[in-house]
Copies of this chain bind each other. A is one copy, B any other.
Amino acid sequence: MAKYAIGIDFGTLSGRALLVDVSSGSEVAASTLNYPHGVMDKALPCGKELGGDWALQHPKDYLDVLAYTIPDMLKKGAVDKDDIIGVGIDITACTVLPVKQDGTPLCFLEEYKSEPHAYIKLWKHHAAQPYANRLNDIAYERGEGWLERYGGKISSEWLFPKLWQILDESPEIYDAMDKFIEAGDWIVWQMTGNERRSACIAGYKAMWHKRDGYPSDAFFAALDPRLEHVVDIKLSRDIYAQGFKAGGLTRRMAELVGLNPGTPVAVANTDAHVCMPSVKITESRKMLAIIGTSTCDMLLGEEERMIPGICGYVEDGILPGYFGYEAGQSCVGDHFAWLVENCVPGAYFDAAKKAGVGIHAYLQRLASELQPGESGLLALDWWNGNRSVLVDADLTGMILGMTLATRPEEMYRALVEATAFGMRKIVSNFEQGGISVDSVYAAGGITEKSPFTMQIYADILNKPIHISGSANGSALASAMFGALVAGKANGGYDSIVEASAAMGKLKDTLYLPCVDNVPVYDRIFAEYERLHDYFGRDENSVMKRLKSIKKAAK
């Protein structure tokens, strides 16, 4: 009798459950629910307006995902709940919320419903940038050793800047919360009744280290005396490694989702880091790039290296026995979506409709007729700041080379190229730091839908690019972790490497660099690098000055 594991991937806009055959990795059925509240970046449900750079979510949406997608998927797959051996989940991070001692989110309580700080701060909530800046300054001044693990800078997207923002802007919410917890850990808690915080998430997003733990209380006191004991008071020092069984489904949750009570649930993963085994990467020199609205790059290293400008590295954070290095771009597909929404004339939409293709496909078709360099355009991919290697959310976008003959498809191509240049900058930064990259493995919607984009990436990176064999890489990998916590004795696996070998997938398609394009892109990349440093490394901080004028004007 076939056995199945469930992987649930909580994305930025929706949650998706995937039913996977444990022996083959075959994806039997799936079900998706768009979050009823979506991303709240303008106002709360009660109508209360949010400030600029805010991005919130509603925890009820995650519970709705569990309640809707699991039964729907089981029905579609016609699989019996007795054949489900384990469940894994993954989610965006750092996506974090304040809760009471029993796990009740503050925003569920009537008294806090109209308080923005009571909600989940989504990964792309950027309003904590001032706190990140101060935190970085203080850590740098104090010579905090852990800072180097994160490329020398903590992102405003991470846990402590977000928590500090709450303390500073809404001390009553800070006081009212008993715990501040990652949304993934909170979901696992809701499923199992156990608070089992994930080492992967804590390591990458909350400066936790396998041997050294969190930064010292003295450091937190230096930020704000009220933060001195923040780890013990609001977080927890109990951290659980990837692949650890958080517990079994509670009776209540089992009823809600239509599974058996006690079904094993793995500790939460982030949607990115979980992916590595889904493309069969179990060794170094192979970079996995999850390309979506933003991009996350992961790479295994055998040695510990301090590399400036990366997001961080966590020992055993991706696969056991390796240092898992992470870097990323905070805006990739969002660039193309922005262009399509704001800069593409109606005639293009009409023509796309007539051609029977989507607007992105239509623009890519036009843009693919251009040679590298033919548009004369060059952009910096900073519409949502820069995560690596500058780690600066206050940078903004730039495009140059426009003439009166410049067309939207040329701008589209320039934005695609800019994101590829951004990735090349990350790769060369890894290589300068002593971590080699021989080939790139790409996953995410764009990699599947856009050969145009992938070929440009191969040409600009001058590396072969493999493509994930699953459109649901995160959910597939989460299912592997579900199979792992079930264990071989129950039809699963006893190591993630075994699970990856059996259940991981790659497409046959391989993108190879085009020899004619490589030298042209080398020249343009040299221009990109120069402008990257000019605007990004304080030679001309015009972007930041304009942002401060903008804030004053509002």
**Chain A residues with a Cβ under 8 A of chain B:** 52, 331, 334, 338, 341-346, 349, 370-378, 380, 383-384, 396-408, 411, 520, 523-524, 527, 530-531, 534-535, 540, 542-543, 545-547, 549-550, 552-554
Contacts and interface: CB of A to CB of B under 8 A. Distances in A.
A425 B395 CA distance: 26
A550 B404 contact: no
B546 A338 contact: no
Given A404-B338, A406-B342, A376 B550 contact: yes
Contacts of A550: 373-376, 401
A554 B374 CA distance: 6
What are the 7 A-B residue pairs with the smallest beta carbon separation, nearest first? A346-B346, A397-B402, A376-B550, A398-B400, A373-B549, A374-B553, A343-B343
Contacts of A554: 371, 374
Contacts of A542: 378, 400, 527, 530-531
Contacts of A374: 550, 553-554
Given A524-B546, A542-B531, A546-B377, A553 B406 contact: no
Contact of A400 (B371, B396, B405, B406): B396
Contact of A402 (B344, B349, B396, B549): B396
Nearest to A521: B549
A540 B534 contact: yes
B343 A346 contact: no
A553 B372 contact: yes
A106 to B, nearest CB: 28
A396 B410 CA distance: 14
Contacts of A375: 550
Nearest to A554: B374
A549 B376 contact: yes
A262 to B, nearest CB: 44
Nearest to A347: B346
Most buried by B among A344, A345, A383, A411: A345
Contact of A546 (B346, B398, B401): B401
Nearest to A399: B399
Most buried by B among A334, A375, A549: A549
19 contacts: A338-B404, A342-B343, A342-B406, A345-B346, A374-B554, A375-B550, A378-B542, A384-B403, A384-B404, A396-B401, A397-B403, A398-B399, A398-B401, A398-B402, A401-B546, A401-B547, A520-B553, A527-B545, A534-B540
A373 B549 CA distance: 6
B397 A400 contact: yes
Given A384-B403, A397-B400, 20 more contacts: A342-B407, A342-B408, A345-B346, A346-B349, A371-B554, A373-B546, A373-B549, A373-B550, A377-B546, A378-B546, A380-B400, A383-B406, A398-B398, A398-B400, A398-B401, A399-B400, A400-B543, A400-B546, A523-B549, A531-B542
A401 B377 CA distance: 16
Contacts of A411: 343
A404 B383 contact: yes
Contact of A553 (B341, B373, B540): B373
A277 to B, nearest CB: 32
A480 to B, nearest CB: 33
Contacts of A552: 373
